[in-house]
Amino acid sequence: MTAQRAPLDEAALRADILGGSVWQTLEVVDETGSTNSDLITRANAGVPIAGAVLIAEHQTAGRGRQGRGWSAARYAQVTMSVAIDTADVPTDAWGWLPLATGVAIVDTVTDLGVDAGLKWPNDVLAGGGKLAGILAEVAAEQRVVVVGIGLNVSLRGDEVGVDGVTSLTGLGVSAPDRARVVVRLLSELGRRVTAWRRAGGADPKLIADYRARSLTLGMGVRAILPGDREIVGRARDIDDQGRLIIDSDGRAVTVAAGDIVHLRPADG
């Protein structure tokens, strides 16, 4: 077993991460289907989950957007879900949480020498490939948003059977320490969540930082919306709810959810 594929030390992570106002519990499990599903199930059973961090060494039935499934090699990723208390923040601001998570991931990997950016709404891209994905789900009974994170550390594209996947090692990071990545990522995200709460959702610095890290803004895009509708245009801005504004056929269209394809000039 190489250092890149070593198990996490739960006790050490707890000592480094817990004790602030955001993260209250931390658990590392050897294997599960989906960390998001596990936290949602606990919430539906009446177990308080606000502030919980659940990390899986191996996730066998992870879920992406629109129900897409995937799994990952053991010890090759940071696969975790966090439960964020949203009780004091209006619901129309909850859409910023996955975007704030993306900013936190970019800032974490930038410190490792990786040049990464954000594809709206939920992908972290680097070196022409997908480095991380994010999935947010609401545990409505508890007014908690569960955010799932899959960050490729030493994962190879052939281990997931899809093209366009990259990892920290694939981007030249030598023997990245997953524990240090987890600690830095949760620290960055905790700081963003605290500011988001303080601002009541529309944190001006988060908005500015997201725009600065966005690979989508200014691009020609195809937005594939629920119901297989499509909008083609130029991504112009992010509004104060985290929605994407696209200029299409002379009008501004606001997109709250959908898959975005970045278009080459010949595609648009």
pLDDT at residue number 63: 57
Closest CA to 176 of 154, 155, 150: 154
Question: For 56, phi and psi rounded to 5 degrees?
Answer: -115, 130
- Residue 259's pLDDT band, with cuts at 50, 70 and 90, is very high
Mark residue 193 as left, alpha or beta (left: phi above 0; alpha: psi -120 to 50; beta: remaining): alpha
Q: Give residue for tokens 């502030």.
A: 51
Mean of the per-residue pLDDT values for the chain?
92
- Indicate the pTM of the whole model: 0.93
List, as one string, the DSSP characters of 107-133. Answer: HHHHTTT--EEEETTTEEEETTEEEEE
Q: Say if residues 153 and 76 touch (Cβ distance below 8 Å).
A: yes
**Cα 20 to chain centroid, rounded:** 21
List the domain boundaries for the chain.
3-213, 220-262
pLDDT value, residue 202: 80
As a whole number of angstroms, the distance between CA 236 and CA 84 comes to 29
Q: In this model, does residue 70 exceed pLDDT 60?
A: no
Q: Above pLDDT 90, what percent of the chain? A: 81
**CATH (one of 2.30.30.100, 3.40.50.880, 3.40.47.10, 3.40.50.10330) for 220-262:** 2.30.30.100
* Topology of domain 3-213, CATH: BirA Bifunctional Protein; domain 2 (3.30.930)
pLDDT at 3 over 60: no
